[in-house]
Structure formats: structure tokens, C-alpha cells
Amino acid sequence: MRKVLEFLFLSVIVVVASSCNIDDVITTSLPPKILLDSETGIYTVKEGREIIIAPNYELAEGAAYSWTMNGEVLSTSPSLRFLSEEIGSYFITIAVTTDAGSDEEEIRVDVIALEIPIVTIAGSKQQTVAIGTNINLNASVRNSSLETSLAWSINGEMVSGDSSYTFSADAVGNYTITATATNDDGTHSDSVEIRVLNAEDMPFVWEFASENYHIVAGRKLLITPSETSSEDSVTYRWMQVGREEPIGNDSRLIFTAESAGEYIITATATTEKECEMITITHEFAITVYEEGVFYRPKSGASKADWNKVYEYTPAPGQFINETKTGGFDGSQTTPEAAIAYAENRMSEVDRDGNPYPNWVSLGGFGGYIVVGFDHSIDNSGDYDIGILGNSFSGSSEPGIVWVMQDENGNGLPDDTWYELAGSETGKAETIQNYTVTYYRPSGTMMPVLWIDNLGNSGEIDYLTQFHRQEYYYPLWIESDSYTLTGTCLAPRNYDASGNGSYWVNAEYDWGYVDNFSSIDRLTGDENATADANANHFKISNAIDFECQPIHLDYIDFVKVQVGVNAKSGWLGELSTEVCGFYDYNLKR
């Protein structure tokens, strides 16, 4: 009983101590309250920028304030000025205290990256041109939520604010052309160095990728320069050792030998500059073999399917380096690792161990893959080769097929490629020897710029709604640009909706990989699930570089090259996919 009385007595003291008597009305002091100026308690600021956090307070007269983070006091003011150079999330506690009590809130400050624009100028960074030559320069700027401007300057003097600029100089000299992108977060520039010479001072170039060739007797061999000056005043002379008369007078040579043997060719180009004769000479060794010398007959152990990937060089594309559906893991930084990736994809099996090949993307125009077999594939006069793609109705991304015979017997695809003609061969809109050069972007998640040999330029769009890999540019290609060449078909894709929401990649009649052909798929299956399905090809459809039929008794290597340079809106670039190759003669 005594303990109860003592408790009641103390309770009365507490009530009296926390109350006051004003005109016989007892009032109680209330603790302060923090009213954040953010409903979520989360604040966002960019790296290196200051943010002021200023809550409202109630009942805070004479209060003490404390802002702390990880035990460190940041401020004792009612508001906080916060700045960090490091990206990340910071958790900060604000406490306000009066004699009547205290209140406390935890806030989060997210420091995010600046959206500094990244600009890339397409084309070579160092060029030499003659006075009066027009050079069309195009720049691409990485997408940003901030308004961004672009300015062009020559040797520091601004000349244009457009997205492209045409440069032409009327005086000899060195010119630095710079494109500068600017927004509220910063600036970034990319430059091109251009050396302008008088026409008579332009260096003469006539270079070849190789000086050793091989061919089968009776077939045409094209020896063409990899780089040459476009000058009318050059005289060319091709001589064959053992013959007195020239065998050619052009910058390139078409050579044919009717019998096997070794042939030595000497080529000379002559031009005159400032009364001085300039002569360039090359010597070529050509080995000619008889047909069938290195034929590899099939045996009971021969497999119908491909047995080795020799090259995998895709163009940039949305599935290149992509780690989800694309199947890359970031370790494909060498050509050998890229080849292993392609082999593994096309060798996949299902849970029961049955072959279930997965697709390998070849990227945009010109991207290619080369495979071989454990035997030579015979020319039956009918369908000889099957190549798996993933086409279905409304989704055809045609790939051109090339075949090669191991003419020199070294087991490598270093001989002559022959295209297999398709339904578009010989049409006016089909372009032979079409060339596209792709350029490494200046920053991550940017489109890839390209320029073709017809003077056109464009981009492989980066599709942020689908992908997050840093680059579409293949990780294993070390150079800042690379060039792909092949046959280009007129695109057949179109926007069926009229508003960009539904694109159709229409099929071609026959003769192409990953093409929903009603002829060479040899099936009426609609393939609605986009499974691997084959197109079939005849070696007897082989043509040479002049688009003339060429007879091959057999072949040893097959190449598929993306055959269109087009994109379908939000679906991105048209890109041939391959899943596998086989000798159809062993399967039917």
C-alpha cells in the first residue's frame, strides 16, 4: 500500500512539472515536428551539384537542429546544403529538439550522373584532300533528356550550328574541324584533321591486300587494288613472265590460265608530277591448280552438319555483345572467343541431348559468318546445302550465301568466294560490291555511324527500350572502324500501320538465308513460333564476280552475309540470324 501511495505522489509531481497554470487553465508543451518538403523523403541531385533541403517545422521555437550521416554532423542549421562528387545514395538524419521534446526523420539523397552529351563525327579522323573538294561531315549526339545544341568550328572559329557540315577549302593548309555538343550538364567535342593540298601535290596510291593468289585452271581470277588514287593521268601495264605482250592496262586485272602451274605477273603504274615520273611496281605470284585435286570425299563417319566456324565478323547490331537473349557474356574480346561463342550457340542441345541450335546474329549489312565441313559437299544439280534461320511470315532478314572450294588444299577459307544467285540477282536495284564502313562510337549506349561507297551515311540505332549493353560495336574488333563488303538487296520492309507501330519485313522469292520463302524452305509450315527453319541452296547457282555462272564440282566452305542495309523503326536494323548449316545431300 505504501508503494502505491509513493507512485501516486510521484505522478502528481510529474504532471505539475510538465504543466503550467494560466488563469486556472492547465496547458501542456508539445514537442516539435518536422515537415519534409518531399513527400517520399527522397531527393535527387546530380554529381558535383549542390542541393538545399529546407523542411518546415512546427513548435520549433528556440529549437536545436542536427543533420547527421554515418555518425558525422553535417549541419546544425534548419536547412542543409548538400553536395557530393560521388554517384550513389546517401542516408541523412535530421533531428530537431526543444525543451518539450524532439522529432527525427531520415531522408535519402540520390546523387546521379551528369548527362554530358557525347558527340561522334563519322568517318576517318585524318584526311588528305585536294583544294575545292567537298567533304560531308555528319555528327551523332547521344540521346539526353536535356536540350542539347551542336556547333561546328574550323580551327576554333564557329561556322555552323547544324547537325551536318560540308567542308571545302580554297587554300592549302591544315584544318581542324570540330563538332561540339553542349547542354546544361557540360560539353563534349570530336574533331577531324583535314590536310588540304594542291591537286598536283596529292600522293599517288596503288596498293594491294595480297601479292599471292591461287585459282583453279579455267576460272577467272580478279586482282584488284585495295586502295588506289582516282587519277586519269595514270598509265597501267600488266606483264606475265614468259609473254611479250601486256595482258592488261587497267588498275585491276582479270587473269585466267587454262593449265595448272606457277605464274608470275608484274604490274606497273606510272604518272607524272612536276615533270617527274612516279612509278609504282608490284609482283604477283599466282598458283593454278587442276579441278578436284583437293576434293575430300565423304565417308561413313562424315557428318551432315558443319564442323567448324572459321570466321565470325558481324556488323554492329542490337544483339552484338548482348548478354541476355544474345548469349554473350562479355568475355568475347578476341576473334577466337567470338568464334567459340558462335560454335557454342549453334551446337546447343535440348534437355534430352537432342540438337537444338540457337541463333547467331550477324548484325547490320555485311556482317558474316564462315563455316566448314568434314567433307566436300557435292554439286548434285539440285539442292545441296541447308542453312537454318529463324524466319516466319512477316519477318525475313535475308542473308546472301557464298561458297568456296578449297582450291589450294590448305584447309582454310582463303580461296575464291562465289555467290549463289537468288531471285534478286541481276535486278537493277541489286548492288554488287556494296561497301559499308562502321565507326566506333565515342561513348556508351550510342548509335553506330556508317558510311557506304555510294556516299550515303546513317546509323545503327541504339534501342534503349530493349537493350543495355554498352556497345553494339563488336568488342573483339580493335580498330576504330571496319569495312564490310557484299551484295546488297533492295529492302522490302515497310510500316504496315502507317504510324510506326507495326513493321513487316517481307520475304524474297528464293535464294536467301533467314527468308520466309515459299520455294526453298521446302515446307508449308508457317513457323509461327520462330523456331529454327532452313532455306536450301544449289551449288549449281554459283556465279563469279561478273555475275556469270561458274561451275563448281563441289565446295568446302560456306559464308552467309547480311544482304540488306535497312531498319524497321522500333524493331531496329534488319539482321540475318543463322542457327546452323548442313549438307542436304546427306539428309534427304
pLDDT tens sequence across 410-450: 999 999 999 999 999 999 999 999 999 999 999 999 999 99
Measured distance CA(198)–CA(155) in Å, rounded:
20
Which runs of E-coded beta strand occur in 430-521?
Answer: 431-439, 448-452, 457-460, 481-488, 493-495, 503-505
- Identify each DSSP E strand in 379-422 by its residue range: 385-389, 399-404, 417-420
| C-alpha grid cell, residue 267 | 604490274
Average predicted confidence (pLDDT) for the chain: 92
Q: 3-state class of 571 per DSSP? A: helix
Q: Kindly give, in sequence order, each residue whose CB lies less than 8 Å from that of residue 573, ignoring residues fewer than 6 positions away.
A: 317, 318, 363, 364, 460, 461, 566, 567
Note the pTM of the prediction, 2 decimals: 0.84
pLDDT band, very low/low/confident/very high, at 15 (cuts 50, 70, 90):
very low
Task: Say if residue 14's pLDDT is above 50.
Answer: no
The pLDDT-based confidence of 561 (bands split at 50, 70, 90) is: very high
Is the model's pLDDT at 24 over the cut of 70? no
Least confident of 26-30, 64-68, 280-284, 397-401: 26-30
| Burial annotation 184-213 (CB, 10 A radius, 16+ → b, else e) | ebeebbbebebebeeeeebebebebeeeeb
- Average pLDDT, integer, range 489-509: 96
Q: Which of 99-103, 232-236, 307-311, 533-537 has the lowest mean pLDDT?
A: 232-236
Tell me, which fold does domain 119-200 have in CATH?
A: Immunoglobulin-like (2.60.40)
How far is the C-alpha of 431 from the C-alpha of 366, rounded, in Å? 12
Q: In degrees rounded to 5, what are phi and psi of residue 6?
A: -65, -40
Those residues with Cβ within 8 angstroms of residue 449's Cβ, 6 or more apart along the chain or in another chain: 120, 122, 138, 140, 438, 439, 441, 457, 458, 459
**In 249-395, where does DSSP find H-type helix?**
335-346
Q: pLDDT band at 201, cuts 50/70/90? A: confident
Would you place residue 274 in the very low, low, confident or very high pLDDT band (cuts 50, 70, 90)?
low
The 10 Å Cβ neighbour count of residue 275 is 5
Residue 491 in contact with residue 563, Cβ under 8 Å? no
Q: Which of 396, 375, 367 is nearest to 521 (CA)?
A: 396
Q: Give pLDDT, residue 16.
A: 38
Measured distance CA(212)–CA(219) in Å, rounded: 16
* pLDDT score of 251 more than 60: yes
pLDDT for the residue 21: 47
pLDDT (0 to 100) of residue 25: 53
SS3 338: helix
Return the CATH number of 32-112, one of 3.20.20.80, 2.60.40.10, 3.30.460.20, 1.25.10.10.
2.60.40.10
What torsion, rounded to 10 degrees, do the Cα atoms 407, 541, 452, 214 define? Answer: 10
Q: Which residue has the higher pLDDT, 179 or 278?
A: 179
List, in sequence order, every residue forming a beta bridge with 80; answer none if it has no partner. 53
Q: What is the mean pLDDT of residues 179-185?
A: 95
Mean pLDDT of 514-530: 92
Share of the chain above pLDDT 70, in %: 94
Integer Cα distance of 402 and 416 in angstroms: 10
Per the CB < 8 A criterion, the answer to whether 44 and 107 are in contact is no
555 half-sphere exposure, CB direction, 13 A CA radius: 35
Please, are residues 361 and 314 in contact by the beta-carbon 8 Å criterion? yes
- Whole-number Å distance between alpha carbons of 5 and 2: 5
CATH homologous superfamily of 209-289:
Immunoglobulins (2.60.40.10)
In 225-290 the beta strands, taken as DSSP E runs, fall at 227-228, 235-240, 253-256, 261-273, 276-289
Q: What residue spans in the chain does CATH classification 2.60.40.10 cover?
A: 32-112, 119-200, 209-289
Query: How many Å apart are CA 537 and CA 342, to the nearest integer?
Result: 22
Question: Which whole number is the average pLDDT over 117-131?
Answer: 87
83, 74 in Cβ contact below 8 A? no
3 state DSSP class of 388? strand
Strand 448-452 with 431-439, pairing? antiparallel
Binning pLDDT at 50, 70 and 90, where does residue 231 land? low
Q: What is the mean pLDDT of residues 577-583?
A: 98
Q: Hey, CA dihedral for 537, 539, 541, 544, is it positive or negative?
A: positive
Give the pLDDT mean for 64-70.
97
CA distance 534 to 485: 25
What confidence score (pLDDT) does residue 23 get? 52
